[in-house]
Amino acid sequence: PCNLTGWWENDLGSKMQVFEVGNDGTFSGEYHTAVSSAKNPIQPSPLVGSQHLDEDGQHTFGFTVNWKKFSDSTAVFVGQCFNGDNGEEVLHTSWLLREKVDSEQDDWKATR
């Protein structure tokens, strides 16, 4: 079965460390992004999430990253862990990023 515990790296060089997945599927860790539009220097950011544990081992999961150490934004990721053809575990994810805006009228440009 796919196990999220450990280090993961994406195509852009961002890295995620999942400390441990509990028996109930909950986990925490740190996200080390390689890309940012923030003016402050990038810093590792806390993440919390949940993994759906099922019998076939190709689990779905979701987690939230709070970029509070260098930005006023929050991101959510959802995905699935696959056991690849070569036996290596692969994560496929989608994400949404919400940036803080100064007014309700600017809400339209706050989510990517």
Q: What is the CATH number of the domain that holds 94?
A: 2.40.128.30
The total number of structural domains in the chain stands at 1
In this structure, how many other beta carbons lie within 10 angstroms of the beta carbon of residue 49? Answer: 22
Q: Can you give the pTM of this predicted structure?
A: 0.87
pLDDT digits (tens, 9 = 90+) for 30-47: 999 998 888 888 889 999
Per DSSP, the chain holds a count of helices (H) and strands (E) of: 0, 7
Place of tokens 């190709």: 58
Place of tokens 């109930």: 24
Domain that holds residue 53: 6-109
Spans in the chain with pLDDT lower than 70? 57-58
Element (H, E) at 15: strand 15-21
